[in-house]
Amino acid sequence: MSKVIKLGFLVYLTFIISHMWASTAAAQGGREVLVADVTGPVTPVMLSFIERAIEEADVRNAEALIIRLDTPGGSVDLTKEIIQVMIASDVPIVVYVWPPGGFAASAGTFITLAGHVAAMAPNTSIGAASPVNGSGGDIDETLRSKIENILIADITGLADRRGEKAIEWAKEAITEAKAANAKEALEIGVIDFIAEDLDDLLSQLDGFTVKVDSEEVTLKTGDAHISFFEATALEELLSIITHPTLALALITLGGLGILYEVIHPGTFVGGIIGVILLVIGAYGIGQLPVNYAGLALILLAFILFGAELFTPTFGTLTTLGVVSFIFGSLILFNTAEFAYQIPLPSILGIALSLAAIMGFGVRKLLQAMKFQPTTGQEGMLNAIGTVKVALDPQGSVFVWGERWQATSEDGETIEAGERVKVTQVDGMRLKVKKVAK
């Protein structure tokens, strides 16, 4: 036992020494820049991730935090919270619109301007922060003026240090949905750098002076090493769930699971799975600004699908349901806060899959309605039997291995040994008619 204790002590001591050595080596090895990738719509998950990244950069005494941003925008309220967190940071924050082909649209424009430094990769874009109504169109003039004035006040404050051209462009990004590519943004002073990659960005940042909490700080990133701040497994899962396309797919699968349970009651598997998927999908949609008209159209689509199953209209209600689903999906995430359209191929793929599944379900339902029962009294209809006691018009017949009291259908006399067919079941008595030979 004493040997085990000594061995454990040596292992622990070795760990402590190696940890101290690693910390000393890191401190002697130069400064650190923390990089956090922020992608997708603005959601509570994004807010939480940025808060944790800033806290981690502060704990590590990082030279700067680089937020690599690629977002279509999102909730105005959440964006304001993100901006407040960024402004309160003691660590310089560099917002880098990345990768090439990415963008900082709508709310992303505000987040970019809130950084102490703003940069963009080539072939990226920024802007288009104009408010729209729930269906993506223009809104009432009075309401639009109120919203625009608030947003203009916010974005002017963020762009103020960047000069008159930047302020004017920022205002037009709201009033005229103006956007700019990386080169244009640099020319008007909206951003500070265009960087090919992180190494290029660090090279340009070296010696650049920023104001953090009213104090000027000169960045020293020439010899800094890069560390990446990773999202937790839960944050990654929630980010996936809150993707608009996946949230719509989960809602769709959940609805189909519940419809399956309605058609085939008693198994509970389809219903349970459907409810689980529906709840997860609802959570994802609940994290995003939703156009309730689009949500209502999707709900109407499933009501029409359900009606088709119980009152088969040979595809009419299914067709109307598919049309309702497509229109609802197109405007589902097109709101004043968040102008995002699910890719049309994804919508059409889901809609066509729904149509195919509904067609298969209706076909099976019609087949079941036409299928002759094989058990119970209904199953005896059209069954063939043999007369045991002559029917005049009453007697008995032998059907399905049992003797039944029977009456001839037309009151005719049917002799014993004749073959008959059951035409009606009335309690324990049958009505039969003679089968032609």
DSSP string, 320-347: HHHHHHHHHHHHTTBSSS-B----HHHH
Decide whether 31-235 matches 376-434 in CATH topology. no
pLDDT at 45: 94
Q: Which residue has the tokens 């709900």?
A: 299
Total-model pTM: 0.72
Catalytic residue among 146, 165, 183, 364: 146
End-to-end alpha-carbon separation of the chain, Å?
A: 98
Q: What does each of the 437 residues of the chain score in pLDDT, given as a tens digit?
A: 555 455 555 555 554 444 444 444 344 456 999 999 999 999 999 999 999 999 999 999 999 999 999 999 888 889 999 999 999 999 999 999 999 999 999 999 999 999 999 999 999 999 988 765 444 445 556 667 888 899 999 999 999 999 999 999 999 999 999 999 999 999 999 999 999 999 999 999 999 999 998 899 999 999 999 999 999 999 999 989 998 999 999 999 999 888 888 777 766 888 899 999 999 999 999 888 888 899 999 999 999 998 887 776 778 899 999 999 999 999 998 776 666 778 899 999 999 988 888 887 777 666 665 555 555 556 678 888 999 999 888 999 998 878 889 999 888 888 898 999 998 888 778 899 988 76
User: Is 183 annotated in the active site?
Assistant: no
Chain position carrying tokens 């009456």 = 407
CB atoms within 10 A of CB 57: 26
Q: Give CA separation, 64 vs 41, 85, 265, 397, in Å.
A: 24, 15, 59, 96
The secondary structure of the chain in percent helix, strand, coil, rounded to multiples of 5, reads: 50, 20, 30
23 counts as catalytic: no
Question: Where does residue 248 rank: exposed (0-12), middle (13-18), buried (19+ CB within 10 A)?
Answer: buried
pLDDT of residue 410: 81
The CATH superfamily assigned to 31-235 is 2-enoyl-CoA Hydratase; Chain A, domain 1 (3.90.226.10)
pLDDT for the residue numbered 19: 44
Encode 374-397: b = buried (16+ Cβ within 10 Å), e = exposed.
eeeeeebeebebebeebbebebbb
Catalytic residue among 89, 106, 239, 329: 106
Q: Which of 54, 57, 119, 120 is nearest to 86 (CA)?
A: 54
Distance CA 87, CA 108 (A): 15
* Assigned superfamily of 376-434: Nucleic acid-binding proteins (2.40.50.140)
Q: What is the pLDDT of residue 411?
A: 83
Domain segments of the chain: what residues? 31-235, 242-370, 376-434
At 234 the pLDDT is: 92
